[in-house]
Structure 1
Amino acid sequence: MSTATGVPELTARVRDRLARLHPGADAGELKTLPGGHSGLTYSVAVGEATYVVKAVPPGQRPVGRNDVLRQARVLGALSGSAVPVPGVVAVDETQPAWFAMDFAAGEAVEPVLDEPEVPAATARARMLEIAAVLRRLHITDVRAPGLDAPEPLDPAGELERWSRTLHAVPAELRPGGAELLKRLAAEVPGGLPPVLLHGDFRLGNVLCAGERAAAVVDWEIWSVGDPRIDLGWFLLFTDHRNFPRLGRAVPGLPTEAELLDAYGDGEAALPAMDWFRALGRMKMAAIMGHNLRRHREGKHHDPDQERLPPTIAAMISTARDILG
């Protein structure tokens, strides 16, 4: 784990600010946390406490995934709610901006994709647990103070946005993709009242301690919109067969129907879920196709991306099957 020696000004600002929370305690070095896909992410110890710091990379604008202040807003809005999130302890809007949050202990492991392997019974319990967490997120008041929620996403807008991404993928990398987009566009369902969306809700973005959800993390793409957008994505990760050459079998994981039951908590099933299940698969195909194209064009060298074509094809094929 490397230290933030390349950003001395950030280091000084963070250590000074956090040291004020613990008078007389020494603030340690900022240590880079691996695995992040947005901004810069560090851990830092101050006395007996440990914090996670997210910062805008030097020289970059605080927009999109680098807009760490936007992430701090949603965490602040959820503080004290029924959705477990790390507490925000400091926000510094001076550029490059950063914020610090409590270090949440736990592991975020996607059972069908990630290492280390999680015992099957634990993986099942975690998945059912976070289905209920997602429900609690979706009943959070989107008018929460300080949230400054964006304009809601409706099904048609979500489809249009991701259709552009899939269209940008070379046709040979998305077999059947054009037909899938036509099918989705022909059957767009009406929207439900907008809720707070995580945007990438799955076990890989929830820190768990044992079978308990300790903290929902990675809020880079949160938004407001139809709750089925989150649900359709979450359901993808219960079956390794959705990910040929990438996934592994985990016996006993909940089925999509079981997760929907856990999410619904006895209420009537949400309408048109098949459309959103297909939409989630299209989005995954678009993301993987985009990443593979970047690799093949030499924009981001990652030979592991060559494992993706079977999964891209499977996502498109099963999405078409779901639509009937």
Structure 2
Amino acid sequence: MTELRARVAEKLSAETGSTVTSFEPLPGGHSGLTYRADATGGNVVIKAVPDGQRAVGRHDMLRQASILTALAQTDVPVPRIVAVDDQEPAWFAMELVTGESLEPVLDDPAVEPGLAARRMRRAAEVLPRLHRVPLSSIPGIAEPLTPADELARWARTLGAVPPELVVGGDRLLRLLEADVPDAIDPTLVHGDYRLGNIIANGIEPVALIDWEIWSAGDPRVELGWFFLFADGTNFPEVGREVPGLPRSDELVALYSRNGPALPDLTWFDALGRLKMAAIMGHNLRRHREGRHHDPDQEKLPATIDRLIITGTALLTA
């Protein structure tokens, strides 16, 4: 941390004339290192590649900085990039945005239910801004992922989890594979769009954060994932029920605003459940193998079961 602080201090001094007065790690990040740097020219958040890690995938800080830079020219609320250092290990600094980013069904402290519902509705209304960004305006964007591509990606993740940790996952996967929807026009996709990744001032989103897995893809993948967090019953033992959260059909209506109907949303709802079950199964496996000891992971089986059962029910109703 000492070396990174020195690099940040030198860069901010040279490019902004700002002096770093404190430098502390921020808790909660899972992809890369995250720090808060207080500075005379304005406080910033630093995202850096962990020591010994390659700057690829979730650790590709330059890729994250590039999408934030591109979106600064749009109406998508994102933090402003302050500095980028492409020397390995790479890092970037973005403005520290004041507000609250909490997932109502998962995070502590609990969000007042009425406020949680209003934030979720507003997030559904703001999401089209992201999906309207022209893909041609994003430098270096890869070929869009189709629904089949997404399913194949998560099938690999599920396949790496011992079957006894994701009981019924193979059946849910077969049901999804049996009726993959045709792709619609691709959009820019955040990849983890939910209230836990949105800094809000009251109900208004002021910064969409955590851009580790952005891509071009099917916007319905984004919606299917967003739906998960509108129902606390999806997360027994690890989450909470929040009364009054909007149902998925209301979120779709707010997103679409009388636009054309989005087909096959039930399939994408089920896909979101498979994705979360696969992620949780992967985390539980790592814990039980001793690769990342975290006793809280033992709370996951009930949620994994719930996600697989309800995802299967969606496709067999």
| Consecutive unaligned residues in structure 2, runs of 5 or more | none
| Consecutive unaligned residues in structure 1, runs of 5 or more | none
Task: Give 1:255's match in structure 2, choosing from 247, 250, 253.
Answer: 247
Task: Determine whether 1:13 maps to 2:23.
Answer: no
Secondary structure, in 3 states, of the residue corresponding to 1:311? helix
Task: Give 2:108's match in structure 1, choosing from 112, 115, 126.
Answer: 115
TM alignment of 1:23-62, pairs within 5 A: 23=17, 25-62=18-55
Please give the alpha-carbon distance, in whole angstroms, between the structure 1 residues aligned to 2:13 and 2:257: 44
Secondary structure, in 3 states, of the residue corresponding to 1:238? coil
Task: Give 1:286's match in structure 2, choosing from 242, 267, 278.
Answer: 278
Task: Give 2:217's match in structure 1, choosing from 225, 230, 237.
Answer: 225
What's 2:309 paired with? 317
Please give the alpha-carbon distance, in whole angstroms, between the structure 2 residues aligned to 1:129 and 1:82: 15
Deviation at 1:59, TM superposition (A): 3.0
Please give the alpha-carbon distance, in whole angstroms, between the structure 1 residues aligned to 2:155 and 2:52: 31
Please give the alpha-carbon distance, in whole angstroms, between the structure 1 residues aligned to 2:254 and 2:230: 14
Task: Give 2:94's match in structure 1, choosing from 93, 101, 124.
Answer: 101
Secondary structure, in 3 states, of the residue corresponding to 1:259? helix
Please give the alpha-carbon distance, in whole angstroms, between the structure 2 residues aligned to 1:250 and 1:57: 36
Q: Which amino acid aligns with 2:134?
A: D
**Aligned residues: CA RMSD:** 1.2
Change (3 A) 1:44 1:67: same
Deviation at 1:20, TM superposition (A): 3.2
What's 2:297 paired with? 305
Tell me if the contact between 1:22 and 1:47 (Cα under 8 Å) persists in the aligned partners.
no
Tell me if the contact between 2:12 and 2:19 (Cα under 8 Å) persists in the aligned partners.
no
Deviation at 1:179, TM superposition (A): 1.0
Deviation at 1:148, TM superposition (A): 1.2
Secondary structure, in 3 states, of the residue corresponding to 1:308? helix
Secondary structure, in 3 states, of the residue corresponding to 1:182? helix
Deviation at 1:21, TM superposition (A): 4.5
Secondary structure, in 3 states, of the residue corresponding to 1:30? strand
Deviation at 1:143, TM superposition (A): 1.3
Deviation at 1:311, TM superposition (A): 0.7
Task: Determine whether 1:272 maps to 2:264.
Answer: yes
Please give the alpha-carbon distance, in whole angstroms, between the structure 1 residues aligned to 2:19 and 2:62: 26
Please give the alpha-carbon distance, in whole angstroms, between the structure 1 residues aligned to 2:192 and 2:291: 24
Deviation at 1:100, TM superposition (A): 0.7
TM alignment of 1:185-264, pairs within 5 A: 185-264=177-256
Please give the alpha-carbon distance, in whole angstroms, between the structure 2 residues aligned to 1:298 and 1:43: 30
* TM-score, reference length from structure 1: 0.95
Secondary structure, in 3 states, of the residue corresponding to 1:143? helix
Secondary structure, in 3 states, of the residue corresponding to 2:37? strand
What's 1:143 paired with? 136
Deviation at 1:29, TM superposition (A): 3.0
Please give the alpha-carbon distance, in whole angstroms, between the structure 2 residues aligned to 1:182 and 1:279: 11
Q: How many positions carry a matched residue from both structures?
A: 316
Tell me if the contact between 1:22 and 1:46 (Cα under 8 Å) persists in the aligned partners.
no
Deviation at 1:17, TM superposition (A): 1.4
Deviation at 1:26, TM superposition (A): 2.8
Q: Which amino acid aligns with 1:163?
A: A
Q: Which amino acid aligns with 1:291?
A: N
Deviation at 1:265, TM superposition (A): 1.4
Q: Percent identity?
A: 54
Secondary structure, in 3 states, of the residue corresponding to 1:214? strand
* TM-score, reference length from structure 2: 0.97
Task: Give 1:127's match in structure 2, choosing from 110, 120, 123.
Answer: 120
Secondary structure, in 3 states, of the residue corresponding to 2:94? strand
Alignment deviations for residues 91-134 of structure 1 (CA, whole Å, 9 cap, x no partner): 11111111111111111101011111111111111101111221
Tell me if the contact between 1:168 and 1:290 (Cα under 8 Å) persists in the aligned partners.
yes
Alignment deviations for residues 56-79 of structure 1 (CA, whole Å, 9 cap, x no partner): 123321111110000001101100
Deviation at 1:176, TM superposition (A): 1.1
What's 2:153 paired with? 161
